[in-house]
């Protein structure tokens, strides 16, 4: 038994945000049925071999349902009658046109929870605007903060960070709505707007003194904004070191034989002084680390229990000894005999551990019934029974 065993979820979402939310729920044991339009989820055609789609949609079953057709709407109602949750990431106007609101489905299942995520919350002048990860990184202040920190132009984080963070919030909202229904019997509709959700994350780090009225200083958290807050160059490469507590700083300067400097320099003496002079503090660390090799620093700093890490490339993760030892990487057999490399479900659970991840759903074209190799990773898993609907 897993944490969400017996929970049935219809996933009418596409791209990254919604599918990531439902993947988290599938990882915890929910039975997720992914509903795709006849042309398939666009992410089947993104990345190398549809890898992003495969990671976002592992452990799900699949169905092709044309929600724009009368037949597709009939199938939607049949599926909704047996589901616990419907998840989508359509704008409210589109959801209304496709009968994906709770009010549209209450007649067939009043206990159905409907959870959605979209760009901008209702009631504001931007509600109804299209939104994507890049746009919300810009609108939320993240892109400008990245540029301010680097001293360069505004920049995007090279990940679908907003989609995944908001997707995690959406999964959390679904779990909370399930718990609420179990406790009160009330099934509800939950909406998670991207802009407001991510603006909260940026503001909670960087609103700073503007959090108060009257203000107690300006915006931006100085430690996070320092150009020296980055991996440090060693004699033969790079290393990540974070001296966070007073003990860390004292141990580090003792290793350097410069403990008196830490005590005497008013810019380094304590946490408040270092925060006010963060560029100088981090600059001292950078200069010291440049005189020894990465491997030597890893040994010395680890022995002193000072927070330190190698700077891995993505490829390095595949051979990382810790990830290997903890079973982070999983090999999922696929119907064609190949293997899909993915990650373990998150967390450790003492009573309801997640099962192993499964493959993503395959995709078949409704009109011909033949497999469409253009629109799916060829190595998905076939769906069977009611879930493989062609409409």
Sequence-ordered list of residues with C-beta below 8 angstroms from that of 375, at least 6 positions apart, any chain: 39, 40, 44, 45, 363, 365
CB 202 within 8 A of CB 53: no
Residue 47's pLDDT is: 81
Residue 187's pLDDT is: 98
Residue 390's pLDDT is: 33
3-state percent helix, strand, coil for the chain, nearest multiple of 5: 40, 15, 45
Cα(5)–Cα(230) distance, integer angstroms: 42
Cα(34)–Cα(20) distance, integer angstroms: 12
Burial class (CB in 10 A: 0-12, 13-18, 19+), 189: middle
Cα(333)–Cα(207) distance, integer angstroms: 47
DSSP conformation class of 350: S
Sequence-ordered list of residues with C-beta below 8 angstroms from that of 4, at least 6 positions apart, any chain: 25, 28, 29, 30, 175, 178
Is 328 in a helix, a strand, or coil? coil
For residue 62, the tally of other CB atoms under 10 A from its CB is 27
Q: Where are the alpha helices (DSSP H) in the chain?
A: 17-27, 51-56, 70-80, 92-97, 102-105, 133-139, 142-150, 161-184, 194-206, 222-225, 246-255, 259-264, 271-276, 278-289, 294-303, 314-317, 321-325
Phi-psi region of 212 (alpha: psi -120 to 50; beta: other; left: phi over 0): beta
CB 239 within 8 A of CB 308: yes
**Tens digits of pLDDT across the chain (391 residues):** 999 999 999 999 999 999 999 999 999 999 999 999 999 999 999 888 899 999 999 999 999 999 999 999 999 999 999 999 999 999 999 999 999 999 999 999 999 999 999 999 999 999 999 999 999 999 999 999 999 999 999 999 999 999 999 999 999 999 999 999 999 999 999 999 999 999 999 999 999 999 999 999 999 999 999 999 999 999 999 999 999 999 999 999 999 999 999 999 999 999 999 999 999 999 999 999 999 999 999 999 999 999 999 999 999 999 999 999 999 999 999 888 899 999 999 999 999 999 999 999 987 544 333 333 333 333 454 443 333 333 3
DSSP conformation class of 35: E
What kind and span of H or E run contains 113?
strand 113-118
Sequence-ordered list of residues with C-beta below 8 angstroms from that of 11, at least 6 positions apart, any chain: 18, 19, 22, 32, 33, 34, 35, 60, 87, 88
């Amino acid at each position: 038994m897993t944490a969400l065993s017996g929970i049935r979820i219809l996933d009418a979402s596409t791209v990254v945000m919604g599918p990531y939310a439902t993947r988290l729920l599938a990882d915890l044991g929910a039975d997720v049925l992914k509903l795709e339009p006849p042309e398939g989820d666009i992410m089947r055609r993104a990345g190398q071999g549809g890898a992003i789609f495969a990671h976002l949609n592992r452990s799900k079953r699949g169905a092709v349902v044309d929600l724009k057709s009368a037949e597709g709407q009939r199938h939607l109602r049949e599926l909704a009658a047996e589901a616990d949750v419907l998840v989508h990431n359509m704008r409210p106007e589109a959801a209304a046109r496709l009968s994906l609101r709770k009010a549209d489905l209450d007649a067939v299942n009043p206990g159905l929870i409907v959870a959605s995520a979209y760009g901008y919350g209702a009631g504001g002048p931007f509600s109804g605007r299209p939104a994507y990860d890049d746009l919300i990184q810009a609108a939320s202040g993240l892109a400008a903060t990245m540029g301010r920190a680097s001293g360069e132009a505004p920049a995007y984080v090279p990940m679908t960070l907003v989609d995944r963070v908001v997707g995690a919030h959406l999964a959390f909202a679904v779990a909370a709505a399930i718990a609420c229904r179990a406790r009160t019997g009330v099934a509800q509709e939950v909406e998670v707007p991207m802009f407001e959700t991510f603006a909260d994350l940026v503001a909670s780090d960087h609103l700073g003194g503007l959090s108060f009225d009257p203000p107690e200083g300006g915006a931006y958290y100085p430690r996070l904004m320092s150009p020296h807050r980055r991996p440090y160059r060693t004699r033969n490469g790079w290393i990540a070191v974070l001296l966070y507590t007073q003990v860390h700083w004292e141990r580090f300067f003792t290793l350097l034989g410069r403990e008196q400097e830490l005590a005497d320099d008013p810019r380094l003496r304590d946490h408040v002084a270092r925060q006010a002079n963060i560029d100088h503090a981090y600059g001292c660390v950078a200069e010291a680390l440049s005189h020894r090799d990465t491997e030597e620093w890893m040994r010395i700093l680890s022995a002193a229990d000072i927070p330190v890490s190698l700077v891995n490339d993505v490829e390095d993760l595949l051979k990382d000894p810790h990830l290997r030892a903890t079973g982070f990487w999983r090999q999922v057999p696929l119907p064609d005999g190949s293997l899909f490399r993915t990650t373990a479900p998150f967390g450790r659970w003492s009573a309801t551990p997640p099962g192993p991840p499964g493959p993503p759903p395959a995709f078949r074209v409704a009109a011909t019934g033949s497999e469409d190799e253009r629109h799916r990773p060829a190595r998905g898993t076939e769906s069977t029974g009611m879930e493989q609907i062609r409409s």
